[in-house]
Structure 1
C-alpha cells in the first residue's frame, strides 16, 4: 500500500523532473554538496518535482532543499535521520516518505502544514515515535498516513479531523484502545491495526462504509462488534493470532441498574413523551442514548447497564468467529433465536467474501 507515483508524461520529462540520488551511500555533507551544485551550476532546481534520497547515510537534511520550489515528492526513507526540521516548509510537497529512520516525536517539525504544503501522503513508519504526532491532525487533506512499526501507544480522539483519509496504517505499535471517533473517517478504504495490543473495536466501525480492507491480526481481540457485518464493501479481513474466545459477562448480576437507568427504560418502553424544558438537557441527552436489545423477541432498551453476549457467526463457511452484542437482560439469552437471526441477516452474503489469515 505504500507507494508514490509521478504524473509525468514521456520518459524524457520524467527524467527531467526526477532527481534520483538514492542508494549511493551519501552522507549529509555529500548530499548538501550535490544539491548546491545543482542550484549554483546548473540553475535548474525548479525543474525537479521528485527527489529520491532514500537508502543513504543522511542524518540531517540540508537547507538547500528549500530552493527546490516545485518539489512535490520527497523520499528520504532508509537513512539515519534523527530530525526532520522545518526545512521543507517552502516546498509544495504532496508526498513525504521518511520511513525507516531514527525519528522521535520531538525531532519532527512543529508543523507539517504551510501555505504551499498540500500533503496527501505522509509515511513515518519504522521510526521511534512514542505517540501519535498531534501536528498531523492539522492536515485535513491527508489521504494516506503510514505510522506502522513505531512505539505509538494511542490513537487520538481528534482523529476525526483527518476526514479525507483513505488509508490509515498504524500496525506494529503498542496501541490498546481504538477510539469511537475512528468511525468518523468515512472515506477510509484500508485500516491497518495489526500487531498491537487491542482488546476490542468500537461499534462505530460500522460507519466506515467504504472500508475494503481491515487488518487486525496479532492483537488481543476476544470478540468483534456485531456492527462489523454492516461493512458491505469489506473484502479483506485478517483476524489471525487473536484469542477470539468466548466470554460471557453478566454485569447485571453484580451491578444492579441505577434508578436513572430504570426510569429511562420505563420512559422508552412506554413511549412517554418528554419535551425540552420539562427536564434538564442532560436528561434529554441521556434518553436519546437508549439502545435496543438485540433479541428480536424483546422490546427492551438499555443505557449504561447491559449484558455482554457472544454470538458465533460463520465466515467463509469454515470459520466461526465470536461477535459481541449487548442485551438488556441476562434473561434475553435464549439461544434459539440466535441461529434464526444469523440465517435471516441481510448482510450475511458479505461474510462469504471475507478472507481470513
Structure 2
C-alpha cells in the first residue's frame, strides 16, 4: 500500500488501475492538485471534503456514478473535471465552489444540472456535451464570465434562451439540439469566435449573422441533405467558415472573398458557385469529385482525402 506525505501538494495518479480513492489521501490536507483520471474508480468518498486546499481535481475517464455533497466544501477549487464517467446527478452543493473556473461534465448520464451552477460566477468553461439534459436552468444566465459553453448532443426540449445573457462567450457548441430556426439570441454574443450548430435542421442563416464581427468558425453539419443559404449578400467572414454536409451550399457572390477554409464534407457531387474561384484556400473536399471545376490558376488548393472535423 502506497503512503503519501501529509505535506504533499500535488499528486498525479492517472491511469494506475485504481478502483478507489487511496484512503491515505484523506490525510493529505495540503493537497492542491490531484489527478486520478483514467482509472476504474466508482465512488468519490465523503472525506474528499477534508481536502479544502484543492485547486484542481481531475477524475475524468472513470466509472463514477455519483458526486457527494461534500464536494461543496472545496471552496478553493478552480478546476473540476468529471468528464467520461457515469454520473447521473450533481449535488446542489456544487454552487458553494465559488472559485471554480472550469467544470467538465461531458459524456455522463445527467438528465439535469442543478440551478446552483448559476452561483459559480467566476466560471469560464462549462462542458455538458453528451448527456441527457432536457433543460438548462435559467440561473445559468448569471455566468457573466463564461467564455466556453458546450451543449452538444443532449435531449433539450427547448432552446436555452438564457444563452443571450452570456455575452462573454467566445465558443458555443449547440450541436444536436433539435434546432430548426437559427436562435436569434446568438446575435447578442458579440465576442463569439466559434459557433457549432452541427446535427440540427437549420435551412437558413439570417443576414444578421454579419453582426458577429469576431466570428472565425461557423460549423453546420446537417443530419440529412438540406439546402443551406446565407441570406446576406454583404456577409464577409474574416476568418474560417466551415460548412459541412449540405447537398448544396448557396452563398452570395461577394461573401467569400476572405474565406480561408471551406469544408465540403463527404458529398460526391457538390455545386461550387463560380464566384468561389476567388478563394485563396479551398480546403477539405475529402477527395470527392466536384460538379463544377473552375480555373484554379493562382489559387492555393489543399485537398484532404479523409478525416472530418
How does the TM-score come out when normalised to structure 1? 0.61
Q: How does 1:195-206 map to 2 (within 5 A)?
A: 195-206=176-187
How many Å apart are 1:83 and its aligned residue? 0.6
Identify if the C-alpha distance between structure 1 residues 84 and 191 changes in structure 2 by more than 3 Å, giving closer, same or farther: same
Q: Output the CA distance in 1 between the equivalents of 2:70 and 2:99.
A: 15
Corresponding residue for residue 10 of structure 2 = 18
Q: Which SS does the other structure have where 1:113 is aligned?
A: helix
**Residues of 2 paired with 1:156 and 1:138: CA distance?**
12
CA distance in 1 between counterparts of 2:119 and 2:226 reads 40
Describe the SS at the equivalent of 1:171. Answer: coil
Matched, 1:225 2:206: yes
RMSD (CA atoms): 3.2
Q: Is the CA contact (8 Å cut-off) linking 1:312 and 1:321 kept in structure 2?
A: no
CA contact (8 A) 1:97 1:123 kept: yes
Query: What pairs with 1:312-323 in structure 2 (closer than 5 Å)?
Result: none
Partner of 2:59: 76
Aligned to 1:55: 38
Residue aligning to 1:90: 73
Q: Give 5+ residue unaligned stretches, structure 1.
A: 1-14, 248-308, 324-338
Distance 1:193 1:128, change over 3 A: same
Question: 1 or 2, which has the higher helix percentage?
Answer: 1
Q: Please tell me whether the aligned partners of residues 167 and 188 of structure 1 are also in contact (alpha carbons under 8 angstroms).
A: yes
Q: Are 1:216 and 2:206 counterparts?
A: no
2:112 pairs, out of 131, 152, 163, with 131
CA distance, structure 2, for counterparts of residue 70 and residue 89 of structure 1: 12
2:93 matches 1:111: yes
The structural deviation recorded for 1:156 is 3.8
| Superposition misfits of 4+ residues, deviation over 6 angstroms | 314-320
Distance 2:167 2:261 in 1: 20
**CA radius of gyration, larger in:** 1
Tell me: higher relative CO, structure 1 or 2? Use CA pairs within 8 A at least 6 residues apart.
1
The 2-side partners of 1:318 and 1:133 are apart by 34
> Aligned pair count?
249
Correspondence 1:352 to 2:249: no
Match among 201, 215, 220 for residue 234 of structure 1:
215
Find the partner of 1:184 among 165, 170, 174: 165
Distance in 1 of aligned mates of 2:157 and 2:185 = 17
State the shift of 1:220 in Å.
1.3
Gaps of 5+ in 2: 1-6, 266-309
Counterpart of 2:80 in 1: which secondary structure?
Answer: strand
Counterpart-to-counterpart distance in 1, 2:79 and 2:121: 14
Distance 1:35 1:16 in 2: 10
Deviation digits for residues 47-98 of structure 1, max 9, x if unmatched? x211011112222112332232210100111111111011222221111100
> Aligned pair in 2 of structure 1 residues 310, 56: CA closer, same or farther (>3 Å)?
closer
Contact 2:135–2:160 (CA<8 Å) still a contact in 1? no
Shift of 1:238: 0.7
How far off is 1:19 after superposition? Answer: 0.9
Find the aligned partners of 2:32 and 2:208 in 1 and give their Cα distance. 44
Residue pair 2:87, 2:110 contacting (<8 A) in 1 also: yes
